[in-house]
Amino acid sequence: MKRLAAVAIFVLAASCVGFVSYGVGDASDPGTLVYAFREPMTTLDPHVNVDGTLQMLRPCYDGLVRYKVGTAELEPCLATAWEVSADGLVYTFELRDGVRFHDGAVFDAEAVRVNFDRIITLNLGAAYLIDGVFDHLEVVDEDTVQIFVKQPSPGFIYSLVEIYMISPKALAEQEMEGDGAAAWFHENIAGTGPYTLEYWNPASELALQRFDAYWEGWEGKHLDYIVVKNIAELATQRMLLEVGQLDLIDEPQTEDVPAYQANPDITVYDGQLLQGWYITMNCLQGPTADVRVRRAIAYAFDYATAVSQLRQDLAVPLQGPINASNPAHDPCLFRFTQDLDKARELLAEAGYPGGGGLKLKIGVVQNLTFEIECGQLLQAALAQLGVELEVIQIAWFTFLEMSQDPQKANDLAMVSTLYASDPVPDKHFELYWKTGGTYNWSFFSSTDMGALLDDILEQAAVTIDDDSRNAMYRAAQEVIVAGCPAVFTVNDFNIRVMRSVVKGFQFSPTLVFYDPFYYMYKEMP
Amino acid sequence: MAQFLARRILFLIPVTIAVTFITFVITRVIPADPAQLAAGLRAGPEQVEQLRRNMGLDKPLYVQYVNYLKGLARGDFGASMRTRQPVVRDILRYFPATAELALVTMLVLVAIGIPLGALTATTRRSVDVAVRSVSIGITALPTFWLALVFQFIFFFKLRWLPALGQISSEGLLPAHPTHFYILDSIITGRFGALPDVLLHMVMPVSALVAGRLAIVVRMTRAALLEELRQEYVRTARAKGLSEFRVLLGHALRNSLIPIVTELGLHMGWLLGGAVFVVELIFSWPGIGLYAIKSIMALDYMPIMGTTLIMTVIFVIINLLVDISYTFLNPRIRY
Amino acid sequence: MLVCASILCCAIVASAVLAPVLAPYDPLSMNFADRFSPPNAKHFFGTDSFGRDLFSRVVYGTRISLRVGFFVLVVAMTIGGVIGTVAGYYGGAVDSILMRMTDIFFAFPFLILAMAIAASLGPGIGNAIIALSAVWWTPYARLFRGQVLSVREQEFVEAATAVGMSDFRVMFRHILPNCFGPIFARATTDIGYIILAGATLGFVGLGAQPPSPEWGTLVSEGRLYLMTSWWLSMFPGLAIFLTVVGFSLLGDELHRRLMHG
């Protein structure tokens, strides 16, 4: 018995010797930022990573250009200057001197060439950004490269923001059986960015530490460590944030915002209308193929409630297919408001007086609260018109496949937008509204209006002059609204929630997740 | 004995095939395109086609199944599209956390459940009924709900226990020779991590123990009552042995067989589903969390892989239980 | 004990049957003015994010839960019963094969199989019932087989066979009725655990779909608002608890009485 006690006391004493802190602290440490993510990091390879976790790699890697913090303008990053040839087919970049990678390798033109080669060869992740546009790259001299493109593309230079440079030394040394060092880069980091890898436990945590030899230097206030924890439950994230064990969460719910605003230790940042949500209607098959039915549904939706109740007024009604903050947005577009009488009239005209036993289905992403709530809102509204709407929750990947197949697609589908904030929204239109677009769930392009739209978009994609291009996009938006293939519901404010001690945060008007970690720091009282 | 063992091990083969077949059918019924998933949301159609060919998805179903089986024989369980890792790697990575949780839960269950069961078998009716009712009450609480309540009260309101995970910061325990956090903290000398790790286990283990307590109590009670009715017990009592000695020395030991069988069932219950929701709520990086996330994302390979592994483990556990019979009761021979 | 348990179970069944009478509001009607109101005189259990009355939703949820419990039990007992009885009666090769099959299904991790089935067939109460039934029949097969084995040897069975009754008649008219006692008790306890399993599926998002007020789904919806609106997860959880307790206690008591009675 005595021996047992002795052992117990020993263990207890030993553990009191302290939580040995291995540099990385927790949220109470002013030099450490603790961030929560709902999904685990898939890979640390910036040429392969395509999902939301890519944002955690941004502090570690640089591209040739980047967005100026808080703006949609490009500024030099690893390239100090660039120019485009008159025919728009050749881009010449002058590279920055004296930049080194985390492992000491030198950054030069050869490094850029090696990177582009790798991206094209792997043909994963980042490759889609330059697919179809990038032709080849030539090294002019140590500090200059030329990139040749297949056709003029106004969006190309912007896509280079997300083409990150990895260390050619690591690539050469860690290459195994021609995999392009994919195995090594999967779990290691070798870039030019301000932060590098401390440790990575793929199941739970990623920690980044300051890279002292960062080319931009460390003047001013900066973080020493960034810790990303994988926390599956939103409710848990929220608890930890309130308690101070987390500094920052990625996607707060709008319902929680009033509670956050009431907490003096938490700051809510909102601004920039970044994410749009709309309900596509099947223009090819079923009752919604009739434009009158579509217009009736557009008149039925309760926009005001969606904005004020579901989004706590942290949104505005969505006007047309792209966000209001986009330079190409047309502020004069027609916008539907709820008008049940008009809706009834239209239904009657279309052959469904009093609802006429119309039954429709709407697909929403499983467990995505806002989409479910929107669906239920529309369900209630349509019920008043005598139309039955069934809300079906579908797992994301199934949803994606179903919605692209006109045979299997539901009558309505809820969708949220990507790229609608890009300064050049060509990718957005291509994905959502053009024939063959992955998110062209309304099959709008199959209608006459849709075919017209395709022409406009094709032209706009190769127009370099900003003004003429934006005029074309405005025409495109008019066509879309006139054809009524979707119910444009809300345009969300981008909301970020963090502890008040975190300073230096600014929104990016173009990328939803583009936190300027380098400029952030914590000011503890 | 050897023959018995051989037969039972051979049994694994039809089980494996049945499991793979059933899960293969289930996951192929899912109308999702794994090539699209793997390529990512923004990939172009050529990228997707390329991936489809690489993944062998353009071949007919039975060929895919045969290829899958061949892969299994090589130890290749395919790759997860969500984590972009080979499933084997994922399972090896996530399994120790679940194993640790399950083992600690079993220990606590045995330490609490068996004495309680023995108690109910030997005391007055009123105490018996009271204890049993309470344990039924505890087990009737939905495990997922109990986990939420624990987290809300003990973390959020009282701050006594940590909200989630296995450890406050991975930096506390850099090396993982055994991947069992409790053992690792002792072996690598990072004693500072040990109380942290133990505190993190309190809520998940409690939620799991609560979910099974009544069953352990009931089974122990039944087994013990059965033993106590035997002739030899009367003899022992007649000889003048104290009730305690009768109980501990004779009855309990002999009733170990049914109790040990049940341990196998408890493990099955734990691994078969109970751990899943607890791991989800506490962000415990185990197989359960991995499986739930894979199911929600309709990620074929991990679903098949984890189902297969869990089933095989369960069968092996039962086999071990059967073998342990021979040691516990010399009269049983195969 | 028996009395308490019976009363509880009757209350649960009654609330399912009398739901329209008991529930003060329509479980589906939304009222945004009253969102997230805590329990008060107007709304006994408070309201949810749409302003729907939680008490009414929980009461209607009883219907869904009992439906799931009942159907799964019936299907599981039928499948298990047939397989177990046939195995026990015929013995030999038939027994071996059927029992091996049962072992294989028994070895399946229950929830993962149920989840995989529900995920592939699509979420929804019907598919949840199918998924649960696919897993729940195995213990009944064993139970029935065990009972049949012990009854089979008895004299009246020999007599029936001697008289020339077909196997089928012997099985279903003579053997089965004598097995029922312990199985019935087990079944009663099981209803509670089936409902619990169904709620777990609902919690994970694979059970009833919105706006259906299934208890597990309700707990899951409430989980997001746990810190400010604790009632949303609390009361449905309590409902699950009371149901499982009621049926477990009842089954336990029945078991005790039938075994020693």
Domain that holds residue B187: 98-328
Q: What is the CATH number of the domain that holds B286?
A: 1.10.3720.10
CA distance C161 to chain B (A): 34
Per-residue pLDDT band at A19 (split at 50, 70, 90): very low
Which helix (H) or strand (E) covers residue A66, if one does? strand A65-67
Backbone φ and ψ for B251, nearest 5 degrees, come out as -65, -50
pLDDT of residue B55: 67
**Residue B72 forms part of a structural domain:** no
CA distance B207 to chain A (A): 17
Tens of pLDDT, residue by residue over A292-321, are: 999 999 999 999 988 888 888 888 888 888
What is the share, in percent, of chain A residues with pLDDT greater than 90?
29
The pLDDT of residue B33 is above 70: no
Best interface-test mutation with A: which of C121, C209, C230 has the largest number of A CBs within 10 A?
C209
Backbone φ and ψ for A98, nearest 5 degrees, come out as 70, 20
How crowded is residue A66: how many other Cβ atoms within 10 Å of its Cβ? Answer: 18
Nearest CB to B142 within list C115, C204, C237: C237
Domains of chain A: 25-41+193-269+501-522 (3.40.190.10), 65-170 (3.90.76.10), 273-493 (3.10.105.10)
Where on the phi/psi map is residue A246: left (φ > 0), alpha (ψ -120 to 50), or beta? beta
Kindly calculate the radius of gyration of chain A based on its CA atoms and give it in whole angstroms.
26
pLDDT of residue B326: 63
Beta bridge partners of A228: A35, A206
Tens of pLDDT, residue by residue over A359-388, are: 999 988 877 778 888 898 899 899 888 899
The pLDDT of residue C167 is above 70: no
CA distance B67 to chain C (A): 21
- Report strand pairing: A412-416 vs A359-365: parallel
Chain C residues closer than 8 Å to A373 by CB = 49-50
Best interface-test mutation with A: which of B283, B299, B303 has the largest number of A CBs within 10 A?
B283
The pLDDT of residue A18 is above 50: no
DSSP-derived 3-state class of residue A425: coil
Give B259 or A97, the one with higher predicted confidence: A97
Range of weakest confidence among A200-209, C162-171, C228-237: C162-171
Give A196 or A493, the one with higher predicted confidence: A196
**Residue B142 forms part of a structural domain:** yes
Kindly calculate the radius of gyration of chain B based on its CA atoms and give it in whole angstroms.
24
DSSP-derived 3-state class of residue A416: strand
- The answer to whether the Cβ–Cβ distance between C110 and B272 falls below 8 Å is yes
pLDDT of residue C156: 66
Per-residue pLDDT band at A111 (split at 50, 70, 90): very high
What is the share, in percent, of chain B residues with pLDDT greater than 90?
11
Average pLDDT over residues A123-134: 82
Chain C CA closest to residue B15: C104
The pLDDT of residue A21 is above 50: no
pLDDT of residue B69: 80
CA distance B278 to chain C (A): 11
Give B5 or B95, the one with higher predicted confidence: B95
Chain A CA closest to residue C51: A309
The verdict on whether omega for the bond into residue C38 sits within 30 degrees of 0, i.e. cis, is: no
Per-residue pLDDT band at B30 (split at 50, 70, 90): low
Chain C residues closer than 8 Å to A395 by CB = 119
Given CA atoms A306, A312, A318, A321 in this order, what sign does their dihedral have?
negative
Q: Tell me how many residue pairs between chain B and chain C have CB atoms under 8 A apart.
A: 135
- The answer to whether the Cβ–Cβ distance between B298 and A397 falls below 8 Å is yes
**Residue B92 forms part of a structural domain:** no
pLDDT of residue A448: 81
Per-residue pLDDT band at B244 (split at 50, 70, 90): low
- The answer to whether the Cβ–Cβ distance between B140 and C226 falls below 8 Å is no
- The answer to whether the Cβ–Cβ distance between C241 and B142 falls below 8 Å is yes
pLDDT of residue B334: 47
**Residue B150 forms part of a structural domain:** yes
The pLDDT of residue A9 is above 70: no
CA-CA distance, A101 to A171, in Å (whole number)?
Answer: 12
Please name the residue that has the structure tokens 């553990």. Answer: A15
Chain A residues closer than 8 Å to B190 by CB = 20
Average pLDDT over residues B58-73: 78
The residue type at C28: L
Neighbours of chain C (3+ CB pairs under 8 A): A, B
Per-residue pLDDT band at B32 (split at 50, 70, 90): low
- The answer to whether the Cβ–Cβ distance between A376 and C205 falls below 8 Å is no
Counting beta carbons within 10 angstroms of the beta carbon of residue B331, is it exposed (0 to 12), middle (13 to 18) or buried (19 or more)?
exposed
- The answer to whether the Cβ–Cβ distance between C205 and A235 falls below 8 Å is no
- The answer to whether the Cβ–Cβ distance between B140 and C248 falls below 8 Å is yes
CA-CA distance, B281 to A28, in Å (whole number)?
Answer: 24
What is the share, in percent, of chain C residues with pLDDT greater than 70?
85
Chain C residues closer than 8 Å to B272 by CB = 108-112
Domains of chain C: 2-8+45-260 (1.10.3720.10)
Query: With contact defined as beta carbons under 8 Å apart, do A375 and A390 qualify?
Result: no
**Residue B54 forms part of a structural domain:** no
Tens of pLDDT, residue by residue over A445-502, are: 778 888 888 889 888 888 888 888 999 999 999 999 988 899 999 888 888 899 999 9
Chain B residues closer than 8 Å to C227 by CB = 152, 156
Q: Tell me how many residue pairs between chain A and chain B have CB atoms under 8 A apart.
A: 148
Average pLDDT over residues B90-101: 91
Average pLDDT over residues A216-244: 87
Chain B CA closest to residue A428: B42
CA distance B113 to chain C (A): 18
Average pLDDT over residues A20-37: 75
The pLDDT mean for chain C works out to 81
CA-CA distance, B165 to B157, in Å (whole number)?
Answer: 18
Structure tokens at A403: 């919605």
Best interface-test mutation with B: which of C9, C100, C111 has the largest number of B CBs within 10 A?
C111
Q: Tell me how many residue pairs between chain A and chain C have CB atoms under 8 A apart.
A: 44
Nearest CB to A234 within list C32, C224, C228: C224
Query: With contact defined as beta carbons under 8 Å apart, do A98 and A83 qualify?
Result: no
pLDDT of residue B105: 94
Range of weakest confidence among A245-249, A253-257, A329-333: A253-257
Structure tokens at A334: 């027609």
Q: C230 touching A, CB under 8 A?
A: no
pLDDT of residue A105: 92
Half-sphere exposure at residue C65, Cβ-oriented, CA atoms within 13 angstroms: 38
pLDDT of residue A22: 44
Q: C209 touching A, CB under 8 A?
A: yes
CA-CA distance, A321 to A330, in Å (whole number)?
Answer: 10
- The answer to whether the Cβ–Cβ distance between A372 and C210 falls below 8 Å is yes
The residue type at B307: T
Nearest CB to B283 within list A20, A232, A436: A232
- The answer to whether the Cβ–Cβ distance between B141 and C237 falls below 8 Å is yes
Chain C CA closest to residue B222: C256
The pLDDT mean for chain A works out to 85
The pLDDT of residue B180 is above 70: yes
Per-residue pLDDT band at B239 (split at 50, 70, 90): confident
Please name the residues between 9 and 38 in chain A that touch chain B, using a CB distance below 8 Å: 11, 14-15, 17-26
pLDDT of residue B29: 63
Most confident of A57-71, A444-458, B219-233: A57-71
Please name the residue that has the structure tokens 């409710």. Answer: A235
Nearest CB to C227 within list B156, B276, B318: B156
Best interface-test mutation with B: which of C2, C98, C120 has the largest number of B CBs within 10 A?
C120
Please name the residues between 336 and 395 in chain A that touch chain B, using a CB distance below 8 Å: 366-367, 395
pLDDT of residue C175: 64
Query: With contact defined as beta carbons under 8 Å apart, do A420 and A494 qualify?
Result: no
Nearest CB to C210 within list A235, A391, A394: A391
Neighbour-count burial for C18-32, b at 16+ CB within 10 Å, e otherwise? ebeeebebebbebee
The pLDDT of residue B333 is above 80: no
Tens of pLDDT, residue by residue over B181-205, are: 888 888 888 887 888 889 999 999 9
The pLDDT of residue C37 is above 50: yes
Q: A263 touching C, CB under 8 A?
A: no
The pLDDT of residue A17 is above 50: no
Please name the residue that has the structure tokens 């409630």. Answer: A305
CA distance C164 to chain B (A): 39
Give C157 or A337, the one with higher predicted confidence: A337
Nearest CB to C116 within list B143, B295, B318: B295
How far from the centroid of its chain's Cα atoms is residue B144's Cα? 16
Q: A366 touching C, CB under 8 A?
A: yes
**Residue B130 forms part of a structural domain:** yes
The residue type at A17: V
E-state strands within A366-437 = 388-394, 412-416
CA distance B16 to chain C (A): 9
**Residue B18 forms part of a structural domain:** no
**Helix C176-204 / helix C54-90 crossing angle, nearest 10 deg:** 140
The pLDDT of residue B178 is above 50: yes
Number of domains in chain B: 1
Tens of pLDDT, residue by residue over B298-308, are: 777 788 888 88
Contacts of C102-107 with C-beta under 8 Å, sequence gap 24+, read C102/C138, C102/C141, C102/C142, C103/B11, C103/B15, C104/B14, C104/B15, C104/B18, C104/B19, C105/C134, C105/C135, C105/C137, C105/C138, C106/C138, C106/C139, C106/C142, C107/B15, C107/B19, C107/B311, C107/B314, C107/B315, C107/B318
Q: In A123-221, which ranges are continuous DSSP H helix?
A: 127-130, 156-159, 168-174, 182-187
Neighbours of chain A (3+ CB pairs under 8 A): B, C
Average pLDDT over residues A392-415: 80
Per-residue pLDDT band at A24 (split at 50, 70, 90): low
- The answer to whether the Cβ–Cβ distance between A376 and C224 falls below 8 Å is no
**Residue B276 forms part of a structural domain:** yes
